Structure 1
């Protein structure tokens, strides 16, 4: 969009700083559709940061390699721009951005590593503290629903004890109909078997159950998970019990465009 208006006849208008900022805001809004001003501001800062890094890297390379090609129109470079300079500038900009984000990620505060989760099954609710885990990419293989791993001890209030006490038998198909009653008939169709290669075990199987509703409380937002599977973990996830669940970082990062999530303003 900005590249187009640069070539319009009204140079004075489009060289105005205020107009440039307005055009940037419009581009960011169209691209990301932020649902509040705070998110719009964050996306705008990210837009300028990436633009400055990539544009600055390419322009600096051109200045050192072929300074005679530098021409400015309305404050924007519009001269001959060799393809190899553009590609090399992109590589340098990507490297700088990658290193910078890696350094910042390593300094994320402990507060941002955790979130609170409310799980509802059969009109019963429990709250757990979850670690935001970038390595948790588990999905239910048939539906593709995201999997939130929860210690079975935190599900005592919402799942019958004869389910939680027979996880292995249910996974192996040895849980006979004689052991069921009218209450269990509600839960059995919700069971899912989830293959995994983590949690200290390779090629394992995790019993999951489809939740009626999951709400994640993160960064002053209530994120409603419309379709998700609760993976029932039979051990403790953390020996210090700082958290009792694992939620994938990918689920939070894609909350604005994910078919499984919707945002509720607090």
Structure 2
């Protein structure tokens, strides 16, 4: 039997990438494709190294593999706190077990040969990529069902998250509702839009922008464009069309904040690529939240 090391490295690179991608989805962490690739490359290099140096038994030990997985998680997700790191590492192992189960299921039902040894996944014959596709579909179904079950058990209280909005070196804190129906995007940059009540934002906004809402002139497009064009913050403001919030063909005034932070102290993370849309009405009857967040901002 001939085993080609470059094929094994490529197979394990793809599997590592998919495992890290599933980990990111399950942990709801935003991570760049570059970091996912870096983590997958580290795992693939480990496979290549132990193929080239099979006599170094220390790299086959459980401790070595745990340290490797910790390094991969640290490089890929860069968790800031110990609890977040442990949580992400646990989800990484769960994702790994899901993929391993899907791979063994493929081998069992397809009657193909293969093995997993010392951290290396190998499938004999012409079925390597079929195994990957089968595993990906299986994992996708499992993850989708898992997320739907979790989401179905959430109440509105669970969907409330603290948010900090910073603009012009000032900041406000408020509570936001994760709204699965909020898919607003800035038409120019395709950046997601969070919707926030004007009253909650009032202390952040320049006086000329506040005057638009104080006079309830936000629907007068000519007036709005005239005011915004004269503002020193002209480049930070946007006009965002929407068809929700009880109005069709509406227009929101939005602005690009310095950044926003989502989450509590244990899982707080900053986001810069977001637009804040200003809504001149109440979003909640009981005043429990002042903003609406799209699910992708917390994914």
Question: How far apart in 1 are the matches of 2:239 and 2:225?
Answer: 17
The TM-score normalised by the length of structure 1 is: 0.73
Aligned to 1:261: none
Question: How far apart in 2 are the matches of 1:12 and 1:124?
Answer: 56
Which runs of structure 2 are paired with 1:1-266 in the superposition (5 Å)?
1=44, 2-7=46-51, 8-10=53-55, 12-66=57-111, 69-71=113-115, 73-74=117-118, 76-80=120-124, 82-83=127-128, 84-108=130-154, 110=156, 112-120=158-166, 125-159=171-205, 160=207, 162-168=211-217, 171-174=220-223, 185=231, 190-211=236-257, 214-226=260-272, 228-253=274-299
* Structure 1 residue 187 displacement after superposition: 6.2
Contact 2:212 2:218 survives alignment (8 Å): no
Question: How far apart in 2 are the matches of 1:198 and 1:74?
Answer: 54
Specify every segment of 5 or more residues in structure 1 that has no aligned partner in the other structure, as ranges.
254-266
Q: Which moved more, 1:244-253 or 1:120-129?
A: 120-129
* Structure 1 residue 80 displacement after superposition: 1.1
Higher strand residue share: 1
The TM-score normalised by the length of structure 2 is: 0.66
Compare CA radii of gyration and give the structure with the larger one: 1
Once the two structures are superposed, residues 183-224 of structure 1 have per-residue CA deviations (whole angstroms, 9 ceiling, x without a partner) of x95566754211123323333211224445644443535544
Contact 1:54 1:94 survives alignment (8 Å): no
Q: CA RMSD in A?
A: 3.4
Aligned to 2:23: none
Contact 1:53 1:97 survives alignment (8 Å): no
Question: How far apart in 1 are the matches of 2:180 and 2:111?
Answer: 43
Contact 1:50 1:97 survives alignment (8 Å): no
Q: Would the alpha carbon gap of residues 43 and 163 (structure 1) be closer, same or farther in structure 2, given more than 3 Å must change?
A: same
Higher helix residue share: 2
Once the two structures are superposed, residues 3-60 of structure 1 have per-residue CA deviations (whole angstroms, 9 ceiling, x without a partner) of 3244231263233111111122222223323333333322222222122112212212
Q: Would the alpha carbon gap of residues 139 and 90 (structure 1) be closer, same or farther in structure 2, given more than 3 Å must change?
A: closer
Contact 2:165 2:257 survives alignment (8 Å): yes
Q: Secondary structure at the match of 1:173?
A: helix
Q: Secondary structure at the match of 1:104?
A: helix
* Structure 1 residue 239 displacement after superposition: 2.5
Aligned to 2:9: none
Contact 2:219 2:251 survives alignment (8 Å): no
Question: How far apart in 2 are the matches of 1:80 and 1:24?
Answer: 26
